[in-house]
Amino acid sequence: MIRNIQTVIPGIATSDGAGVKLRRSLGGQQQVRLDPFLMLDEFSSNDPNNYVAGFPAHPHRGFETVTYMLEGHMLHEDHLGSQGHLKTGGVQWMTAGRGIIHSEMPQQDSGAMRGFQLWINLPANEKMKAAGYLDIQAENIPKISLPNGGAVKVIAGAFENEGESITGPIQGITTAPLFLDVHLPPNAEFAHRIPQELNAFIYIYEGELEVGGPMRAVPKQAAIVLGDGDRLKTKAGSLGAQFIVLAAKPLHEPIVQHGPFVMNTRAEIEQAIDDYQNNRFVIS
Ligand code: FE
């Protein structure tokens, strides 16, 4: 059964960090989410005034942050003294767990800065695990060329291609996320299995795309939540299309969020604030 469009969540212009301009779709003002996805930001600018201030030191607890750089260079530093470079085509998968205090600062003062930051929730029994992260450079992300001239990058989960399963560098996460970046030439089709039990959305960042059965055009720069089914079916328009595909198992747990803290109860949020204010937030 082909998944059709269920909801369109437009990316609303906003800013975060020290004034980085971005578009927030999931996790915007209405607290619209798609379990276990909490938030999706797209940042895209050629003007350094829109990104150069970066994201100075700030905390997170209770979930994972995934940064996918389409273009640009940021330096990540955390309270443990770890450093990582996020460069064009690379991904940082950070498990905030019990707590991390980090900064993400641009290492350029001109040119394009483009990419995504996605927040994925952790189950209750993993929210207080130790923090950690993986920096994955572009060359370690499998890229599969499609017969129609398109290409797929496999960041998390598995891409099934002509009977072969190609797995991305991110594995072993409880919510079993699938994260693909798909590029299609004009009028090319793309289909992929997305198991019924996963919640799924796509986000078109370049070009034009139709989705579903029957096909319907979808807007760019919006999270397109997919309905029931087990198959994604798409076709690029005359400009081609570039889009990300995200799917994961829902947690079905209560969510209480206070900015960068995402827990299950109000008491756990109060604990997070208290821990942060009293330097008990992180394990060093
Ligand atoms: Fe952060």
* Distance (Å) from CA 42 to ligand 1 centroid: 14
Per-residue confidence (pLDDT) for residue 231, from 0 to 100: 97
Chain segment 213-238, per-residue pLDDT in tens: 999 999 999 999 999 999 999 999 99
Could you give the residue ranges of the DSSP H alpha helices within the chain? Answer: 266-277
Three-state secondary-structure class, residue 76: strand
Using H for helix, E for strand and C for coil, what is the string for 147-180?
CCCCEEEEEECEEEECCEEEECCECCCCCCCEEE
And the tokens for 111? 């040119």
* Distance (Å) from CA 93 to ligand 1 centroid: 11
Per-residue confidence (pLDDT) for residue 281, from 0 to 100: 85
* Distance (Å) from CA 94 to ligand 1 centroid: 9
**Fold of domain 5-248:** Jelly Rolls (2.60.120)
Q: Cβ(108)–Cβ(72) under 8 Å?
A: yes
* Distance (Å) from CA 186 to ligand 1 centroid: 36
And the tokens for 276? 């942060």
* Distance (Å) from CA 198 to ligand 1 centroid: 26
Chain segment 88-134, per-residue pLDDT in tens: 999 999 999 999 999 999 999 999 999 999 999 999 999 999 998 89
Per-residue confidence (pLDDT) for residue 30, from 0 to 100: 60
Could you give the residue ranges of the DSSP H alpha helices within 48-200? Answer: none
State the 10-residue block means of pLDDT for the chain, 284 residues long: 97 93 89 94 94 94 97 92 93 95 94 96 97 93 97 97 92 96 98 97 98 96 97 98 98 96 98 93 70
Tell me the HSE value of 204 on the side-chain side, using a 13 A CA sphere: 21
Give me the amino acid identity at 136. I
* Distance (Å) from CA 279 to ligand 1 centroid: 18
pTM of the model: 0.96
* Distance (Å) from CA 111 to ligand 1 centroid: 22
Three-state secondary-structure class, residue 138: helix
And the tokens for 167? 């797995």
Per-residue confidence (pLDDT) for residue 283, from 0 to 100: 65
Domain ranges for the chain? 5-248
